Amino acid sequence: MTNAEAERDYLVEVEDLNVIFGTQHVLRDITLRIPRGQTLVVIGESGCGKTVLLKTIIGLIQPTSGVVKFDGHDLAKQNDRQLTQLRTRYGFVFQQAALFDSLTIGQNVAFPLRQHRKLSRDEIERIVRRNIAEVGLPESAIYKKPAELSGGMRKRVGLARALAMDPELVLYDEPTTGLDPIMSDVINELIMRTQKRANVTSIVITHDMHTARKVADRVVMVYPVLRLGEDEPQILFDGPPSELDQCEDRRVLQFINGEAGERLHEMQRDNEAFRSAG
């Protein structure tokens, strides 16, 4: 296999990525390569940089150093027009759905098509109806406003909109947050169905271990830089979900089992240090 052929096997490549905001080091020396068609789940506690990683992968945040490539294209070397064109190949499912409140559901799903595709009204309507049906919503939902739908229904509309452009990469930011267990599993099933139907590459940010175990081909756990030793890698685990329980790193086991463990002692020490300083 030539180098060019090997590169094409990866849709997303992140090399030695660092993101620093002021004095805060959020991402440190992150290297990831995501093959086409893979569902990668990124887990880790709040504040460890998961969403920053997601936004850096699609060019919404500029790296302090390092390289991010999409389909072989170095995002840092693209001009605004080229970046806009590349982003039409992404679908983004936001944590709170991020629908336009003033638009109907049908208009929300149609929005990226009207922005980026030269399609007739009939073609757009056909795609909207197809996508609404594929996420399990009734056709009547097309004419409603977001405020008229439940949280789970709005999440599904967000997925329908993300799929409208037939993306190669779909990114999910906490797709099951705030949902009951049944609706969370509906979203999990839709994530899996989307991957199988279109063979898309997916990156899922989540705290939900049921989601991680169910939808992932591969799980990566990220740890806060501030709590790492100087030479410790920020990625504590990278492998299939079936190997999570065999991980020898106690921090991984504490997270996946929902155990406070040493974290509670760290918080107590921090509070004591804060009171002493006062």
CATH code, domain with 251: 3.40.50.300
Percent residues over pLDDT 90 in the chain: 61
Nearest to 172 by CA among 27, 85, 89, 54: 54
Nearest to 91 by CA among 111, 107, 118: 111
The whole model's pTM is what? 0.86
The answer to whether residue 240 sits within a structural domain is: yes
The answer to whether residue 266 sits within a structural domain is: yes
Residue 152 has pLDDT above 60, yes or no: yes
Q: Give residue 225's identity as a one-letter amino acid code.
A: V
User: How many domains are there within the chain?
Assistant: 1
The answer to whether residue 260 sits within a structural domain is: yes
pLDDT given for residue 270 in this prediction? 54
Tokens of 182: 């049944």
The answer to whether residue 56 sits within a structural domain is: yes
Count of beta carbons in the 10 Å neighbourhood of residue 2: 7
Task: Please state whether beta strands 235-239 and 73-74 pair in parallel, antiparallel, or not at all (unpaired).
Answer: unpaired
Task: Please state whether beta strands 169-173 and 201-205 pair in parallel, antiparallel, or not at all (unpaired).
Answer: parallel
Q: How far apart are CA 91 and CA 56, in angstroms?
A: 15
pLDDT given for residue 269 in this prediction? 59
pLDDT confidence band for 259 (50 / 70 / 90): confident
The answer to whether residue 121 sits within a structural domain is: no
Q: Give the pLDDT confidence of 54-94 residue by residue, as tens digits.
A: 999 988 899 999 999 999 999 999 998 999 889 889 998 88
pLDDT confidence band for 232 (50 / 70 / 90): very high
**Across 113-136, average pLDDT:** 90
Q: Give the pLDDT confidence of 172-207 residue by residue, as tens digits.
A: 999 888 888 998 998 899 899 888 877 799 999 998
- Per the DSSP assignment, residues forming a β-bridge with 68 are 14
The answer to whether residue 217 sits within a structural domain is: yes
As a whole number, the mean pLDDT across the chain is: 88
Domain with 257, as residue range(s), is: 3-89+167-277
Residue 1 has pLDDT above 60, yes or no: no
The answer to whether residue 149 sits within a structural domain is: no
**Across 104-120, average pLDDT:** 90
